[in-house]
Amino acid sequence: MARQKLSKNGLERRQDIIRRYRQAKKNRPATTLEIADWAMREGLWKPHALDVRKLLADELSQAMHEEYITDPQGRRVRAKHAARITIDGEQQVLWADIRDKNPGTRRHMEVAFQNRRQQIVGECRQLKTDVDSYNQNWNGGAAIQTVFDFTDDLAEFELANTA
């Protein structure tokens, strides 16, 4: 299912549950299901009424995100793409199919691809921060190196797919 963004208060409450679980279990690694089961047993979280419309929208989003097709060159590509845009001052996510021939599809795809590129850049920035912090504060051995030039990875992928 697609990730739902929690309010700051909701996020902090969930993080408090995680802190309490880790303390109770002496910081051992755990699955999210183990933490959820524990939180419910301890009375730290109770289920609430579902917004079925929002639930269906999230499931539809996940279904579109996971729909793949084979293009004329034989490549497996994502069929549906989300573009985050602002309409009347409000952030909206609009979906389009890569095969659509509508006049606005090209612009939609440009925005969708740029949105995804920015997500990747954000993930790389956070990974660099995490690795740097680990190396400087908690790593007792040789520094872990991270390379952010994906040229060789993409070339290897292309080579494997043409063989």
pTM of the model: 0.71
58 and 41 assigned to the same domain: no
63 and 81 assigned to the same domain: yes
pLDDT at 7: 74
> Which residue range(s) make up the domain with 107?
50-152
3-state secondary structure of 145: coil
Contact indicator for 109, 96 with CB cutoff of 8 Å: yes
Write down the residue that tokens 């602002």 correspond to: 86
pLDDT at 2: 46
> Is 163 exposed, middle or buried (CB count within 10 Å of its CB: 0-12, 13-18, 19+)?
exposed
3-state secondary structure of 90: strand
pLDDT at 5: 63
- How many separate domains does the chain show? 2
Contact indicator for 124, 149 with CB cutoff of 8 Å: no
26 and 57 assigned to the same domain: no
Start-to-end C-alpha separation, the chain:
34
25 and 10 assigned to the same domain: yes
Counting Cα atoms < 13 Å in the Cβ hemisphere of 34 gives 10
**Domain-located, residue 54:** yes
Contact indicator for 126, 134 with CB cutoff of 8 Å: no
Predicted confidence pLDDT, tens digits, the chain (163 residues): 445 566 778 899 999 999 999 999 998 889 999 999 999 999 999 888 888 898 899 999 999 999 999 999 999 999 999 999 998 999 999 999 999 998 889 999 999 999 999 999 999 999 999 999 999 999 999 999 999 999 999 999 888 877 6
Contact indicator for 92, 103 with CB cutoff of 8 Å: no
Contact indicator for 77, 68 with CB cutoff of 8 Å: yes
Q: Which residues are CB-contacts of 23 (< 8 A; sequence separation ≥ 6)?
A: none
